[in-house]
Amino acid sequence: MKDTSKRAHEPWKAFQARQRNQDIKRDAVLQTAAHMFLEQGYRRTSMSELAKRLQITKPALYYYFRNKEELLVECYRAGITLIETLLDKALVSQGTGLDKVKVYIEAYAKSVVLHDFGRCVSMLDENELSSETRKLVRALKRRIDASIRGYIEEGIADKSIAPCDAKLASFAMSGAINWIGTWYKPAGPLSGLEIASHFSYLLTEGLRNHASTQRRRNAIQAAPVSNKSKPSAPRATKASR
């Protein structure tokens, strides 16, 4: 199965249309920067190369972004916003804590395999940034960590998740999902959506409170059957009397 959604690797074409508004052009700059950061690394991507790819002058580029650091921060911000948007669409607020963790993992994994901004969150190294900018990026990333940790804690409370260290579990999940970006290939045997689904299952099964699940099953099986639900005995016919 092939991904139906392809990454937009040529957003710089927005500059070829004179009627485009400023927001669309700014978004084209950001998308192109994200693609180049992932393609050749943040350090090796220069503002001059970005301007050349966009076919605009450097002064025109600086009109939209002051420097390369600002571009990287905005890529992170766009990635976090993307993940949160996918979560909203997936109705993550419904179900048990385990249900919410599963939806969260699948949404996060989709952002990594299907969108450049999502891959920026998982793959780009914030240590390339200045200390002040690094603090800002880490604050953005903490939004993801806080969400998944909260769902794990909720699952422990409602007994859908076995007792565990929620902080350690959230770190393990985030690390596993972030690593997808280093090996995922769109032309591989599994589509991005299939990989997201598999990861969601594999990572949540380790959290599931199997004892609680078994107790619920036993309770259902042991529950007495009401008279109304009991099947009535067949009436005897003349031949059987």
Shared-domain flag, residues 34 and 51: yes
Question: Are 152 and 101 a contacting pair, CB within 8 Å?
Answer: yes
Shared-domain flag, residues 124 and 148: yes
Question: Are 157 and 148 a contacting pair, CB within 8 Å?
Answer: no
Residue 224 inside a domain? The answer is no
pLDDT for the residue numbered 5: 45
Shared-domain flag, residues 11 and 84: no
Shared-domain flag, residues 31 and 74: no
pLDDT in tens, 37-95: 999 999 999 999 999 999 999 999 999 999 999 999 999 999 999 988 888 887 667 78
Shared-domain flag, residues 57 and 169: no
Alpha-carbon torsion angle 37, 113, 201, 4, nearest 10: 170
Q: Which of 25, 42, 65 is the last residue of a domain?
A: 65
Residue 82 inside a domain? The answer is yes
Residue 132 inside a domain? The answer is yes
The predicted model gives 26-32 an average pLDDT of 94
Q: Which of 13-27, 128-142, 213-227 has the lowest mean pLDDT?
A: 213-227
The answer to whether residue 147 scores a pLDDT higher than 80 is: yes
Number of folded domains in the chain?
Answer: 2
180 sits in the region (left: phi over 0; alpha: psi -120 to 50; else beta) called alpha
pLDDT for the residue numbered 38: 93
pLDDT for the residue numbered 224: 55
The answer to whether residue 156 scores a pLDDT higher than 90 is: yes
| DSSP secondary structure of 193-216 | HHHHHHHHHHHHHTTB-HHHHHHH
Q: Which of 65, 83, 112 is the last residue of a domain?
A: 65
Shared-domain flag, residues 53 and 171: no
Q: List the CATH number of the domain containing 202.
A: 1.10.357.10
pLDDT for the residue numbered 94: 78
Side-chain-facing half-sphere of 26: CA atoms under 13 Å = 13
The Cα-based distances of 207 to 12, 96, 171, 199, 239 in angstroms read 44, 12, 13, 13, 60
Shared-domain flag, residues 16 and 113: no
* Cβ neighbours, 10 Å, residue 196: 24
pLDDT band at residue 185 using 50, 70 and 90 as cut-offs: confident
Q: Residue 140 sits in which domain range?
A: 68-211
Question: Are 117 and 79 a contacting pair, CB within 8 Å?
Answer: yes
Q: Which of 44, 65, 86 is the last residue of a domain?
A: 65
Residue 237 inside a domain? The answer is no
Residue 2 inside a domain? The answer is no
Residue 204 inside a domain? The answer is yes
Q: Which residue has the higher pLDDT, 20 or 125?
A: 125
Question: Are 29 and 50 a contacting pair, CB within 8 Å?
Answer: yes
pLDDT for the residue numbered 61: 94
Shared-domain flag, residues 43 and 125: no
Residue 218 inside a domain? The answer is no
Shared-domain flag, residues 57 and 92: no
Residues of the chain with pLDDT > 90: what percent?
44
Residue 161 inside a domain? The answer is yes
Shared-domain flag, residues 113 and 76: yes
Shared-domain flag, residues 11 and 126: no
Q: What's the whole-number average pLDDT of the chain? A: 81
**Highest mean pLDDT (candidates 21-25, 71-75, 130-134):** 71-75
The answer to whether residue 229 scores a pLDDT higher than 50 is: no
pLDDT band at residue 149 using 50, 70 and 90 as cut-offs: very high
In sequence order, the β-bridge partners of residue 208 are 161
Among all chains, which residue has been given the structure tokens 């902080």? 167
Q: Which residue has the higher pLDDT, 220 or 105?
A: 105
Q: Which of 12-26, 47-61, 143-157, 172-186 has the lowest mean pLDDT?
A: 12-26
The predicted model gives 12-30 an average pLDDT of 72
pLDDT for the residue numbered 54: 93
| DSSP secondary structure of 141-203 | HHHHHHHHHHHHHHHHHHTSB-S--HHHHHHHHHHHHHHHHHH--TTSSS-HHHHHHHHHHHH
Q: List the CATH number of the domain containing 34.
A: 1.10.10.60
Shared-domain flag, residues 55 and 100: no
